[in-house]
Every structure is written in structure tokens, then in C-alpha cells.
Homo-oligomer: A and B are copies of this chain.
Amino acid sequence: MQSNYLKKLREQSPLIHNITNIVVANYVANGLLSIGASPIMSSAIEEMDELPAICQALVINIGTLTEAQVKAMIKAGKSANKNNTPVVLDPVGVGATTFRQESVQTLLHEIKFDLIRGNAGEIAHLAHVNWSAKGVDAGTGKANLSQIAKDVAIKHNCIVAISGEIDYVSDGIKVAKIVNGTHLFPKITGSGCLLSAVCGAFLTLSENSFELTVNACTAYAIAGQIVQENLESTQTGQFYIGLLDSLAKIDDEIVERYANISFE
């Protein structure tokens, strides 16, 4: 996989508007800065017209959702759609409660998303496939994730990315399987949320959302993989911080060298 996306991202340093949760707001901001983008965090309804108009992407994350946030998300999403700003949905723990399920249905109805990114439990829920998700964690199941990614992509007419030991990215026709990554990702909070934001930053770089999402997921997985090479499996704190360093250090050449992707 040859590309110059990381180089381009750092040259353009896109401004990314995040409507996100209180758990990961800090880490997502630091991660975006590390990789070369510029974050702005806001859920204030008063800013939801203007911010998506001055930002290059909008990332909506339901990790600690409130009723007020749902309203802000809809307003921001509509503004982004009007301005042709790419919009990403991270349906954190969508299956866990009725409130999350209904809110995500509302968001999917009101906003045109360019990308939905979640773990297996979250995307399986959107596909109405049986899966034992565990709160906001992926949980376990036996469904065909490649097919699920494709189905949800067709249903919502967007790119879908499922993150896990293997990442699946689909546009409804093609499916990319990315085998990079590390078992340490699920041991830190917000590793998925940050990936959604990184995908948002990549989506500002061209019109090819599928290729950009594949590249974003691959670069991110490799950044984690490289940190893990020098750590014991219990060094979750060091991994948390090391991932920021790695996102700043990784470049297109490293991604090309490490990438392990196959297409279906």
C-alpha cells in the first residue's frame, strides 16, 4: 500500500470538530495533535451551525450521550452535510441501552454519514446480528464480520469500519481486511474513539473515502503495533502514552513497510 496521506495530513493539518464523550475528549485531542491534525471539541448547541462550517470534518461519538448532545449532534450533522464536510459516527456501546439504540437510529435518519466506525459488538448491533457485546467493549460472537461490514455499508450508503484483532473496512462492494494491530488496543480506553477521529482527519484528504478509511485504520493499527514491540503485555499505561508518540512518528514509508491488508 503506497500513499502519501500522512504527509498530506501533516501539510494540511485539518481542523476536526469532535462531539465526544467526557472519557476520551482529552486523548482524542492529543491523538489528533500527535498525528498532525487540529482538534476542536464542542457539544454546545449554540456552536453547531458555525463549527462544522469552519472545520474540515465532524466526528460524532456517543460514548457518554445526553439528550442535549443528541440535539447538538443533529444540528452539527445537518450543517456538515450542507457544507459537504465529511461526517463520522462512532456508535459507542450502542447495544447497551435503549437510549443509545434510539439515539443512533435518530442520528442515522437525520444525518448522512460518510463513515460508521465501531467494534464488532457495535456494528453487529446495527446489522441486527446476534452478538454478545459487553457494555462498550466488543464482546464475543461468531458472525461473519466481513459480511456485516458490507451489509451495514449498503444499508446506510457509507463506508463501514469494524475494528478488532482484524479490521474490516467496506464500501458495500469491496472489503479490506487489515491484520495489523496489537492486543493492547482494547486494554486502554478510547483507542476506538481516537481511531474514529483519525479516520475523520483522513477523510479530509480526498474524495476516495474507502481508500482513506483503509489507510487510516492501517496507519493507526501499525502505530499501535510498533509501540507494543517494546512493551510487556501488562504495560497498558506505557502503551497509552507511547501510542501518542507513535502517531507523531509514523510516516507513509513505515505504513507501506508494515501494512498487511487483503481485499475481498
Contact indicator A240/B40 (Cβ below 8 Å)? no
Q: Which residues of chain A (70-114) have a CB below 8 Å from chain B?
A: 93, 96-100
Instruction: Say yes or no: is A135 at the interface (Cβ < 8 Å to chain B).
Output: yes
Instruction: Say yes or no: is A21 at the interface (Cβ < 8 Å to chain B).
Output: yes
Contact indicator B240/A236 (Cβ below 8 Å)? no
Number of interface residues of A (CB under 8 A): 60
Other-chain contact of A242, B99, B237, B242 (Cβ < 8 Å)? B237
Instruction: Say yes or no: is A129 at the interface (Cβ < 8 Å to chain B).
Output: no
**Given that A187-B33, A243-B237, A248-B236 are contacting pairs, would A23 and B26 also be in contact in the complex, using a CB cutoff of 8 Å?**
yes
Interface stretch (choices A50-58, A156-164, A201-209): A50-58
Other-chain contact of A34, B23, B30, B55, B237 (Cβ < 8 Å)? B237
User: Mask for A40-76, Cβ within 8 A of B = 1, else 0?
Assistant: 1111101100110011000000011111000000000
User: Mask for A11-38, Cβ within 8 A of B = 1, else 0?
Assistant: 0010100000111111101100110001
Instruction: Say yes or no: is A118 at the interface (Cβ < 8 Å to chain B).
Output: no
Contact indicator B30/A236 (Cβ below 8 Å)? yes
Residues of B within 8 A of A63 (CB): 41
Instruction: Say yes or no: is A244 at the interface (Cβ < 8 Å to chain B).
Output: yes
Q: Distance (Å) between the CB of A198 and the closest chain B CB?
A: 14
Other-chain contact of A236, B23, B65, B244 (Cβ < 8 Å)? B244
Other-chain contact of A67, B33, B38, B46 (Cβ < 8 Å)? B46
Other-chain contact of A46, B93, B99, B240 (Cβ < 8 Å)? B99
Residues of B within 8 A of A51 (CB): 96-97
Q: Distance (Å) between the CB of A38 and the closest chain B CB?
A: 5
Bound-state CA distance A188–B98 (Å) is: 36
Residues of B within 8 A of A190 (CB): 26, 29
Q: Could you give 25 example pairs across A and B, Cβ below 8 Å?
A: A15-B134, A15-B135, A21-B41, A22-B41, A23-B25, A23-B26, A25-B64, A30-B240, A33-B186, A33-B188, A34-B187, A38-B134, A38-B135, A39-B135, A40-B93, A42-B64, A43-B66, A46-B97, A47-B97, A50-B97, A235-B245, A237-B242, A237-B248, A240-B241, A241-B241
